[in-house]
Amino acid sequence: MSNFVGCYKIDTEDMTIEQVIKLFVDKEETPCPLTERLVGAGYQQKDGGYIKNAKKQGKEIDYKRNLPSQYWHLMSCCYSRHPQEPFRKSIVCGELIFWMAEVSDAVPKEDLRKLVEVITSNAINYEGDCPIYDRIRWNKEIQKLCFDAIKAKVEGA
């Protein structure tokens, strides 16, 4: 079933930006050692998307220090959108989805730990000292493991 809110077609099975903010707004200081390990191993978008926005805002970008944070990534994304806009699987940034799963406890930590191990042991190349990963493949795996579990957490909040 679909409804229209402003210019947004909202399917009843979609979570909204407002719901996402409600669950994650207080997660800035939540420990996320697995996300830090994943991003610290070079699994971070190189350009475009949130990295492009961070550069425009003068944010420091350093994968070794997990900058910008995934909290900043999510909140800057959410606060730039209408609260009733859907938050769908078209969000494909693996490190963001992974962080959301970790800090919300949507996915068991052991499952996330195993996924970090698999991803970080499968760099396909190196650019200087930074590993290069098959982000299309691994973003899909992260989404498959995490997105529906995150959606259940968000809708249950």
pLDDT score recorded for residue 12:
52
Is the pLDDT assigned to residue 4 strictly greater than 90? no
pLDDT exceeding 70 applies to what percent of the chain? 92
If one compares 139 and 1, the residue with the highest pLDDT of the two is 139
Tell me the pLDDT band of 151, cut-offs 50, 70 and 90: very high
Whole-model pTM: value is 0.89
**How much is the average pLDDT of 99-123?**
97
Burial of 9: CB neighbours in 10 Å, binned 0-12, 13-18, 19+: exposed
**Region at 48 (left for phi over 0; alpha for psi -120 to 50; beta for the rest):** left
Q: Which residue's entry shows tokens 């207080």?
A: 26
What confidence tens digit (pLDDT) does each residue in 59-85 have?
999 988 989 999 999 999 888 889 999
The predicted structure's pLDDT at residue 81: 87
Is the pLDDT reported for residue 7 higher than 50?
A: no
Give 115 or 125, the one with higher predicted confidence.
115
Residue 61 burial class via C-beta count within 10 angstroms: exposed 0-12, middle 13-18, buried 19 and up = middle
Mapping DSSP to helix (H, G, I), strand (E, B) and coil, where does residue 11 land?
strand
> What is the number of other CB atoms lying within 10 angstroms of the CB of residue 56?
8
